Structure 1
């Protein structure tokens, strides 16, 4: 039987290898993915979110540095996300950010909930403003 932590480690491996099908195989068909970028429901929407990161950051890599070992469900991990934006990246307002060549380093944490041997909910937390500043974007005044 696959443990919650086995699924979490498989997810990390699939993300680091940019294997979208393998990522989606770990999620239940009606899973929910929550992140600063928004809420995605089901394989199609969840896959779309991962695709945006894989396209924008072809070298995207997660490095786990802390796992809450006495927690099974959810499996909670803190990690560092790194990558270089060498591909187009979709911004929240619908614009596409052309490749900047900038390297990002984000601190993140996530909680992964499992039901019936699949990920039912994955909640990813990182500072979206930190991401955008590292990509060279800045806040503008709205009149």
Structure 2
């Protein structure tokens, strides 16, 4: 199993941007519901945005599956929303003070023990309802 995924999860939990960037190739791409980040500068901005919104963010890994150069990680992200957070619709949600615990899945492509791409999926309805948001009712 690629060590880089374990290093990444440790760096995320430690909020260590330097250690985090050592996990990616310079031209890596992250795709998530909120945005796409390409290259180190955008990845740092993307990760910084998440930590700004949830400064106590923690990832708990449930399971990892490796198949050739692909790694799938399933887990839970927990944190308290005390700063601005970019929603998938492009709006910024200001601090609610609410705690979240959201199921997530990440799919990584790894080459030479570095991450080339990462796609993230999470239950947005679960996250948004825990933040106190409501979906608009159909007309």
Question: Is 1:16 matched with 2:13?
Answer: yes
Deviation string, structure 1 residues 74-119 (Cα, Å, up to 9, x no partner): 1211101111111222234444322111110111111111123321
Cα distance in 2 for residues equivalent to 1:34 and 1:95: 18
Cα distance in 2 for residues equivalent to 1:64 and 1:53: 18
CA contact (8 A) 1:5 1:72 kept: no
Deviation string, structure 1 residues 105-136 (Cα, Å, up to 9, x no partner): 11111111112332100111112232122111
Question: Is 1:115 matched with 2:89?
Answer: no
Q: CA RMSD in A?
A: 1.9
Instruction: Show structure 2 runs of 5+ residues with no match.
Output: none
Q: CA deviation at 1:5?
A: 2.2
* Length-normalised TM-score, structure 1: 0.87
Number of aligned residues? 139
* Length-normalised TM-score, structure 2: 0.89
Match of 1:38 in 2: 35
Q: CA deviation at 1:45?
A: 1.3
Deviation string, structure 1 residues 13-58 (Cα, Å, up to 9, x no partner): 0000111121112111110101111221111111111111101111
Cα distance in 2 for residues equivalent to 1:82 and 1:54: 11
CA contact (8 A) 2:54 2:82 kept: yes
Instruction: Show structure 1 runs of 5+ residues with no match.
Output: none
Q: CA deviation at 1:71?
A: 2.8
Cα distance in 1 for residues equivalent to 2:22 and 2:71: 18
1:128 pairs with one of 115, 120, 124: 124
SS in 2 for 1:101: coil
